[in-house]
Amino acid sequence: GEDVEQSLFLSVREGDSSVINCTYTDSSSTYLYWYKQEPGAGLQLLTYIFSNMDMKQDQRLTVLLNKKDKHLSLRIADTQTGDSAIYFCAESIRGYGGSQGNLIFGKGTKLSVKP
Amino acid sequence: DSGVTQTPKHLITATGQRVTLRCSPRSGDLSVYWYQQSLDQGLQFLIQYYNGEERAKGNILERFSAQQFPDLHSELNLSSLELGDSALYFCASSVAGTGTEAFFGQGTRLTVV
């Protein structure tokens, strides 16, 4: 079945780069997403990548997609303490044509940024 | 602020009871999605409505039901509640049914005691 896996924790120092990794199973996923959840808050869409792209850059965020290995990563450059949050990788559910609302989420990676 | 409003923010109820969670989508959004976030299951897609009609169904229990009203707000009804239903319930909305960004509300935290 469809599944999204990601490591549960990542700790980095302020100013370093953070790399959060994710693997997914459904090769027919049209879009892959990264969401951020801060304590007590909802989910915020950070970025997404269309499945025919290898890379997408948006300011401090770089998404890399290796479709052959079904591996997605999110790199945050110059990580700040305000980046501390849980980051979720998600893929669109098979059969829903890439709808950005019908998603399968990973369990989330808790990023801790030490000053 | 995503523009998606969920009420109430917190809800505590007893086992066996029934509750209704409410979601007001962003202005102009036709699609509403419901998700459940629990410690053991993570974030799970429950159901989607588009312009009043059910569009997609995920891991939604038979004890749960939802609807979307003509003014596009949605309600998620949870009945015969069990301890395991304690979770954060998110609503999200998007303009259309496919290929568009979904915006999430802040969630309703349900505690069943």
Task: Flag whether pLDDT at A94 surpasses 70.
Answer: no
By C-alpha distance, which of A84, A1, A68, A67 is closest to A31?
Answer: A67
Which of A25, A44, A82 is CA-nearest to residue B107? Answer: A44
Instruction: Check residue B102 and give its pLDDT.
Output: 84
> What's the pLDDT score for residue A29?
67
Which whole number is the average pLDDT over B49-64? 91
Query: Is pLDDT of A2 > 80?
Result: no
- Residue A25: per-residue pLDDT: 84
**Mean pLDDT throughout B15-20?**
98
Is B87 at the interface with chain A, CB within 8 A?
Answer: no
| CB spacing of B104 vs A97 below 8 angstroms | no
3-class SS string, chain B: CCCCEEECCEEEECCCCCEEEEEECCCCCCEEEEEEEECCCEEEEEEEEECCEEEEECCCCCCEEEEECCCCCEEEEECCCCHHHCEEEEEEEECCCCCCCCEECCCEEEEEC
Confidence check: pLDDT of B76 > 50: yes
Q: How confident is the model at residue A98 (pLDDT cuts 50, 70, 90)?
A: very low
Q: For residue A37, what pLDDT is reported?
A: 94
- Residue B33: which of A98, A101, A106 has the nearest Cβ? A101
Q: Is the pLDDT of residue A97 over 50?
A: no
Report pLDDT digits (tens) over A50-81. Answer: 888 899 999 999 999 999 999 999 999 999 99
Percent of chain A with pLDDT over 70: 90
The residues pairing with A105 across neighbouring beta strands, listed in sequence order, are A90
Instruction: Report the pLDDT value the prediction gives residue A95, as an integer from 0 to 100.
Output: 53
The mean-pLDDT minimum among A1-5, A19-23, A45-49, B74-78 falls in A1-5
Looking at residue A3, its pLDDT comes to 85
B102 touching A (Cβ < 8 Å): yes
Please say whether the beta carbons of B2 and B61 come within 8 A.
Answer: no
Percent of chain A surpassing pLDDT 90: 63
And the tokens for B27? 């202005």
User: What is the pLDDT, as a whole number, of residue B93?
Assistant: 92
Which candidate from B42, B45, B103 shows the least CB-CB separation from A102?
B45
* Distance from C-alpha of B21 to C-alpha of B94, rounded to nearest angstrom: 19
- Give the residues across from A110 on adjacent strands: A9, A86
- Is residue B86's pLDDT more than 70? yes
Lookup: tokens for B1: 């602020």
Q: Does A19 touch chain B (CB under 8 A)?
A: no
State the pLDDT at residue A40.
79
Exposure pattern of A40-70 as b/e (b: 16+ CB <10 Å)? eebbebbbbbeeeeeeeeeeeebbbbeeeeb
Contacts of B97 in chain A (CB under 8 A): 99
pLDDT of residue A101: 58
Beta-carbon separation of B42 and A44 below 8 A: no
Does B2 contact A93 at a Cβ distance shorter than 8 Å?
Answer: no
Q: Residues 6 or more apart from B62 whose CB is under 8 A from it?
A: none
DSSP A63-94: EEEETTTTEEEEEESS--GGG-EEEEEEEEPT
- Say which residue, A93 or A51, is predicted with more confidence: A51
CB A49 within 8 A of CB A31: yes
Per the structure block, which two tokens stand in for B100? 């568009």
Work out the pLDDT band at A30, boundaries 50, 70, 90.
Answer: confident
Residues of chain B contacting A103 with CB distance shorter than 8 Å: 45, 102
B25 lies within 8 A of chain A by CB:
no
Contact B56/A102, CB-based, under 8 Å? yes
Q: Which residue of A has its CA nearest to B30?
A: A101
